Every structure is written in structure tokens, then in C-alpha cells.
Structure 1
């Protein structure tokens, strides 16, 4: 994207009555943001869904002047700008109708890794929630996912810190421009995040910070991710909005269940009850449902796992496979008298321990 292209695209993004959906329609019709701003108003009015109110402010000169100032900020802070039609723009976000036409980035984000998940939840996360979040990230580490969240209090920062601990790339999606950070107490984590990931936002350095920004930010969290995981949530909350957005994008949503008496589990329980989310009781449910496979060089070696300890259910399945050779998942579940979903999670755990191996056709065998 040339600086001239960026100038006009920023100017178009700056117009108050034109959101991302309308901007994409205008660019699609005219070919570029520059062409839009140089087109005659009467021609733009012929575009379906474009009215006089939308175009009222379009041709005012101050949009280009403000765009010039923002380009200066981008240069001074060495930010990257991703255009919605460009190769570097998040692939999954390209398929979201309301994805931003421009995305501002700091850090060393590498989106070539296709396993991208977002982890969201309550700001007042409980100790149980923290423990599950940490265990989730630790368990998923062999699959090398990118961990996305909102860099806020509670669940967000727990997810980011857990990703950093296990050397996973992590992305913070911000509800403000890259001239500041909120909350300020999290500024101490910025350097580490930018070394192994970074930050995304579609807000300018001049945008006023307010609570509505969080709702707009949530579409980026849901949009760039393959799946959204809600750790904890009260009956109402921003993480439930993110889950709804993810559902609207036809992405997988997971929710961690809790006791009906726990206020921070109401939202998650409702997502599960209304079939808006998979129940996430075991971290290994995530790779199973998303059909993630470990790369050969990351699978545990058999030699290292000779003395691995198996729990009672794992021993039952292992002994059955030893006695009966290769077996189908359904057959294992029936003969071991366990639910299929439970057997699937146990088998994945045993695969990670190096005691069984999956075969084509949903067959499994003991090693």
C-alpha cells in the first residue's frame, strides 16, 4: 500500500457517517478510496444503500488533513498498517463483513500460523478461572496456537501472560489508539508482548476513549480467531458479546461450565444451555473439536514416555487396545462403557503421553 493510498483510505475511514461496511461498498464500486473521494456525489448516490446523509461529510477537506497527521504518527512510531484487501491482513478477518478497512499493528505479529484462538472472560476472574485458563494454554502449547485477547484485567491478561510463559505468540486487541495503553498497570507487559506477538487496533491516535470502544474492539478479537473461548462470565458482559459476534461469523465458541450458584459462571452456563457454545470441561476438548493434529516432530517420543503414569480410565482404554489391536473410537467407548466425548478427550491425552497412536479412519492402537 503506497503512502498516497494510505492517505485517502485514512481520510475515508475518518468520515463520521461511513463505517467499514459502507466504506468497503464504496471502494468496491469505485476501485479505491482515492477514487471514492474524487468521484462526483451524484454518481455515488446511485450505489445501492448510499444516501445523502451518508455522503454529507464525505468531501470536507479536513479529513485529508487529519489523515496526514495520522500518517505522521504512524511513521514516528514505526507502526504497520494492514489494508483489508492486502496479503498481510488477517485472513479470517477478511471474511467478516464489518472487519476494519485498516488495521494498525505494533510488534512482531506473524499470522502465517493458522491456529489462532481468542480467550476472553470476566475481568473479576476467580482463582478457579485463573487456574483453568493457565491449564488451557499449557495443554494447547504443543499445538502452537496464537493466543488472542483484549489486554484488559482478569481473564485477558491471564491469557496473555500464560502465552508468554509458554513462548506462544500472543496478540492484544485494543479499544484505543496505539498512542496509549489501558489499563496503565499493564504497560509493563507491552515489551514482552511485542517481542512475541503484538497489538492490533482500528482506532486512531486521536480517537476519544470510551466504553463503547470495547464493543467495537470485540469484533476483531472474534474475527481473527478460529474459535473463541469464554473462561468465565456473569449474566451480562463483554465476553458474551464477543461470543455472539463469533457465532455470527460461524466460528466455534467454547464456554467453561460452572456451578449454577456461581455468579461468574451464569454467562458460560447460558451459552452452553442455549447451544451457543461447546462445553469446555477439559482443555483437550479444543483440539479435538477443532480437529487439530500434532506435527510429527512435536509428538512425544515413545522412549520418553516409557514410565508415564496413566489414571484409571486411561489404563482401562490402554488395556483394551492392547488386547484388541486397532479399534474404532465408537467401539472403544462401547466396550469401555464410557461416553464417546469423554473417550475422545482421553485418547488425545494418551496420544500426547505417547502411549497410543491415531490411525486413518478414526482407528486407534496402543504403542
Structure 2
């Protein structure tokens, strides 16, 4: 067994240990730097990680769960499914910064989960012609403006499946985040689209084989949809619904959220209108508006070839200079893009950007964009 396989087995087993949960599992892995060492040094956890008690150490003595994890890994290998552990290079780095990020994910497909531009499109399961047309038009126009964007949704009825199909129709990669294991597709009516997505995108889940699409799993799934993306776009939503939960999660993760408005009398525009009214989502009218707000205008970024030399800012640290260099090459960028490009954790990035603001090197624009001042 390789070290990587061992880490995969212990990561899977950790998700099954009762009483730990997403936040607890992440804290353990970050504290010990690997799931393998969480189990290997379980008797020393209380000494190494503040707040860990003997009950958790005892719960980690679980040979039956490790055997179940070995069985799961066998299924993954047989079906050519990637097992992405927490520190795996292919693990979504944006998601890793979220407090309740899963310590392991399962992925089948060919998409880059750390692509430069990632958005999710969510909405009601009862999409109207208005919502369906918005999906098609928005992604058609977005393709022309930002052809490398990755579109994420939940493969559900309504807006989700329309977002996936519109992405495929326009040659965009698209990933479906599932509320069950990869031994099934739910709803089964979407199987053909799911298969098509494997060639241009993929399917992602945190759930083990045999997990059924129970109601509470969809709420858990939504945090991955929100956390792995730069922005959430709500197309249509009633006054209550899963897409509003995704929007709230996006806000809690400090990600941008947008909503298309609708007529005040339309049931499936009420949720979007409320988000806009309550300043929980920016009003969205077009792909061009979205790209400009996010700073994703690739053409203008390519044209900008400003070169900033280190001696212009002699008092910059190495990490500060990396940020300056990227802003010089790419133009205005959002914090999540800078996190991906520099591999600097988001909490540390916030502090560095604040220092750069104080030094007069960068400034914040509308939409959370950072502009280099030269």
C-alpha cells in the first residue's frame, strides 16, 4: 500500500467516525497535517491539538471503519474515481478555506477543480421559461467573454440541469455536485447529461458508495457548491428554497453572490428579489455585467502587460511581491483568484492585502476587486 492510498483510507475512515463532524475532522487533519497521523497518534491528540478530549481519541480506535474505508477505496480504484484528500493538489483550494470543508472528496471527470474562473448557477426545481432562457443566454454570452469558466451546479431538476446543459451546449466545462455516492445518479432522468459531463467536466461528491439522496444531504451538498466557487448566481427561486441556502453559504464564505430579478408577482422570482432587496446579492442583468464586476474580462487582462519591478516597492515581503506581480500581469483580480494564483490561504491573504492597502500599493474597487496602483 502506498502512502497516498493510506492517506485516502484514513481520510475516508475519519468521515465515518461518530461525534466528529466536518469541522472537527478538518481541525484534526490540519492539526496533525494528515489523516494518517490523526489515527497513528490518536493517543497524543489531546496534547497536540487544544480542545481534543479522550472521547475523540477512543472513537478513532475503529478497525471496522478502516475496513469499510478500504472497501470504499477498492470501489473507487475499480471505477477510476479520484479520491481527493484534504492536502491533495487537485482538491478545490477555494473549498479548503471554508471552515466546514470535507476532508475527502470523490471526483469522476476531467475538469480542473482549481480553474481560474469558477461560478455556480442555482435556482428552483420548478424553472419557468424565463429561468431556462436566462441560463441559455447568460452562458452563451459568458462563453464569448470568458471561455475558460467552469460552471458548477447540483444536477437537480429545474435551473441546475438547465445550467449544466447550457454549459455543455456552449462548450463550457461543468461539474455536478451530488448529494449521494457515485454508485448512482439522482434523478435518474439526468443520467445522459451526467455521462456527457464526464467528458467535459465531471461529478463530485463527499458521500460514500451506498449513500442515498436523503433530504439533509442536499443541504450538506450546497456548502460544497458555494465553497468551491468564486461566485454564486441565483437564477430563479421561491421565497424559500435550497438555492437561498446556497446564497447564504456563499455570503458566509465571503464569496460574491448575484441574482437575476423578476416580476414581483412571480412566485419563482420572489427569492431573487428578496436577496437583492436585502443586499445579500448583487443585481445581475447580463454576462457582461458579471464579468466586469468579477474582473474576468480576459481580453483586457491579456492586453495589459505592465511590468512592475521589485525596486518600485523595496519594502515588500516575498508574498506581497507575488501578489503585486500577479496583479501587474493579470490586471484587477478578486481575492479568491489571488488565493488560487499565489497559494496563500485566504485568512493570510486578507492581512497581506490590508498591508498593501496601507502602503498605497493596491486599492479595493467595487465588487471586491483589487487594483494595483503604479
In the other structure, the counterpart of 1:320 is none
Q: Which of 175, 180, 186 is the matching residue for 1:176?
A: 180
Change (3 A) 1:298 1:133: farther
1:257 and 2:261 correspond? yes
Work out whether residues 232 and 268 of structure 1, in 8 Å CA contact, stay in contact via their aligned partners in 2.
yes
After TM superposition, give the deviation of residue 73 of structure 1 in Å: 0.6
Give TM-score, length-normalised by structure 2: 0.76
Q: Distance in 2 between the 1:255 and 1:52 partners?
A: 47
Cα-to-partner distance string for 1:152-204 (whole Å, 9 max, x where unaligned) = 00000000000000110000000001000100000111221000010110000
Q: Which of 43, 46, 52 is the matching residue for 1:50?
A: 52
Q: Mapping of 1:111-126 within 5 angstroms?
A: 111-126=113-128
Q: Distance in 2 between the 1:4 and 1:192 partners?
A: 32
Q: Mapping of 1:266-277 within 5 angstroms?
A: 266-277=270-281
1:281 and 2:285 correspond? yes
Change (3 A) 1:295 1:111: farther
Cα-to-partner distance string for 1:232-287 (whole Å, 9 max, x where unaligned) = 10111000000000001111000111111111111111101110000112332110
Work out whether residues 92 and 225 of structure 1, in 8 Å CA contact, stay in contact via their aligned partners in 2.
yes
Change (3 A) 1:40 1:276: closer
After TM superposition, give the deviation of residue 53 of structure 1 in Å: 4.9
In the other structure, the counterpart of 1:10 is 12
Work out whether residues 79 and 105 of structure 1, in 8 Å CA contact, stay in contact via their aligned partners in 2.
yes
In the other structure, the counterpart of 1:329 is none
Structure with greater proportional helix content: 2
Tell me the secondary structure at the aligned position of residue 295 of structure 1: helix
Work out whether residues 42 and 57 of structure 2, in 8 Å CA contact, stay in contact via their aligned partners in 1.
no
In the other structure, the counterpart of 2:336 is none
After TM superposition, give the deviation of residue 25 of structure 1 in Å: 1.8
After TM superposition, give the deviation of residue 56 of structure 1 in Å: 5.0
Q: Mapping of 1:80-99 within 5 angstroms?
A: 80-99=82-101
Q: How many residues align?
A: 301
Q: Which of 160, 178, 188 is the matching residue for 1:156?
A: 160
Cα-to-partner distance string for 1:14-40 (whole Å, 9 max, x where unaligned) = 212222221122223333222221325
Work out whether residues 45 and 51 of structure 1, in 8 Å CA contact, stay in contact via their aligned partners in 2.
no
After TM superposition, give the deviation of residue 60 of structure 1 in Å: 2.0
In the other structure, the counterpart of 1:324 is none
In the other structure, the counterpart of 2:231 is 227
Q: CA RMSD, aligned part only?
A: 2.2
Work out whether residues 151 and 157 of structure 1, in 8 Å CA contact, stay in contact via their aligned partners in 2.
yes
Q: Mapping of 1:1-367 within 5 angstroms?
A: 2-41=4-43, 43-44=45-46, 47-55=49-57, 57-142=59-144, 143-144=146-147, 145-295=149-299
In the other structure, the counterpart of 2:333 is none
Q: Distance in 2 between the 1:198 and 1:175 partners?
A: 14
Work out whether residues 9 and 33 of structure 1, in 8 Å CA contact, stay in contact via their aligned partners in 2.
yes
Work out whether residues 233 and 258 of structure 2, in 8 Å CA contact, stay in contact via their aligned partners in 1.
yes
Tell me the secondary structure at the aligned position of residue 214 of structure 1: helix
Change (3 A) 1:230 1:43: closer
After TM superposition, give the deviation of residue 112 of structure 1 in Å: 5.0
Give TM-score, length-normalised by structure 1: 0.77
Work out whether residues 17 and 53 of structure 1, in 8 Å CA contact, stay in contact via their aligned partners in 2.
no
Work out whether residues 117 and 225 of structure 1, in 8 Å CA contact, stay in contact via their aligned partners in 2.
yes
Change (3 A) 1:188 1:208: closer
Unmatched segments (≥5 aa) in structure 2: 304-370
Change (3 A) 1:15 1:208: farther
Change (3 A) 1:267 1:54: farther
Change (3 A) 1:94 1:192: same
Tell me the secondary structure at the aligned position of residue 204 of structure 1: coil
Tell me the secondary structure at the aligned position of residue 258 of structure 1: coil
Cα-to-partner distance string for 1:339-358 (whole Å, 9 max, x where unaligned) = xxxxxxxxxxxxxxxxxxxx
Q: Distance in 2 between the 1:229 and 1:131 partners?
A: 15
After TM superposition, give the deviation of residue 116 of structure 1 in Å: 0.5
Change (3 A) 1:154 1:40: closer
